[in-house]
Amino acid sequence: MKVLIVEDDPLHRSYLHEAVNAALPECDTVIEAENGTVGEKLARDHKSAHIVMDLQMAKRNGIEAARTIWKERPETRILFWSNYSDEAYVRGVSRIVPDGAAYGYVLKSASDERLKLALRSIFIESQCVIDREVRGLQQKSLGQTNGFTDSEYEILVDIALGLTDRAIAKRRGLSLRSVQNRLQQLYDKLDVYQSAGDDHEDGRFNLRARAVTVAFLRKLLNYSALERAEAELQEWLEGK
């Protein structure tokens, strides 16, 4: 069995290497990549079926890499190993995981034991292992309760990118008014009105900008999500 490690921090990489060796005696080869681009290439060359992937990498992040890898070989098993449990990451991952694929999401703060267990469960037993903290987010995020609908999330991203109402309407195939309706919904859920009306005349917020910030502070958005969205936007702009 071969395992590919994609992780840009050398310390973490060697830690992972050791953990894999310890947890998987049946593994005879470990390959390492220091960013997403190299990771994709190695995965392709070696036809890797077992990958441990960091999410936040400078060059090309884990979600991008995982997406192209899964596109080529959907049965690949990937364990995401991340520092954070931002809702943006969780949402990003669940967006790209193929039907029935075995994958995992473990936080770097987890114990050695937990990491090793996850490695065995996913790579040997083909089970999904999601860190309980992440799991909580997932439920909230994807279930409708308290979470955001896809359309709400979509429009959040659109205003975060800085599109006008009109541009959003065109992009999403909606009328101007519908876009604005969704915006209102979003403002509502993000509770942007908070101190807006407290001392009238005074501390009013610019709802649109405020919504983006609040989403950021709540980890609904993060750098990597923005980066991806921006890339998609540029792509769309090309295609007129």
Partner DNA sequence: CAACAAGCTGCGGGTTTACGCAAGACGGCG
Partner DNA sequence: CGCCGTCTTGCGTAAACCCGCAGCTTGTTG
Q: By CB under 8 A, which span of 24-32, 38-46, 132-140, 194-202 interacts with a copy of itself?
A: 194-202
Size, binding site for a copy of itself by CB under 8 A: 40
> Which one, 5 or 97, has the nearer CB to a copy of itself?
5
- CA 64 to chain CA mean position, Å: 9
* Shortest reach from residue 176's CB to DNA, in Å: 6
| Closest to 96 measured CA to CA, from 146, 140, 50, 62 | 62
Q: How far, in Å, CA of 67 to CA of 198, rounded?
A: 45
User: Closest by alpha carbon to 17, among 205, 7, 47?
Assistant: 7
| Residue among 90, 63, 89 at smallest CA distance from 78 | 63
Closer by beta carbon to DNA, 126 or else 206: 206
CB of 52 to a copy of itself, least distance (A): 15
137 binds a copy of itself (CB under 8 A): no
Does 208 engage in binding with a copy of itself (CB under 8 A)? yes
If binding is defined by CB under 8 A, does position 193 make contact with a copy of itself?
no
CB of 67 to a copy of itself, least distance (A): 20
Shortest distance in whole angstroms from residue 73 CB to DNA: 34
Assigned token pair, 7: 């992780």
CA distance 77 to 120: 11
- DSSP code of 146? T
Least distance in Å: CB of 138 to DNA?
Answer: 21
H or E, element range at 82: strand 77-82
User: Quick one: which of 239, 238, 228, 231 has its CA closest to 95?
Assistant: 228
**Integer Cα distance of 137 and 135 in angstroms:** 5
- The interface mask with a copy of itself, positions 21-60, x = CB under 8 A, is ----------------------------------------
Q: Which residues bind a copy of itself (CB under 8 A)?
A: 9, 11-12, 15, 83, 108, 159-164, 166-167, 170, 192, 195, 199, 202-214, 216-217, 222-223, 226-227, 230, 237, 240
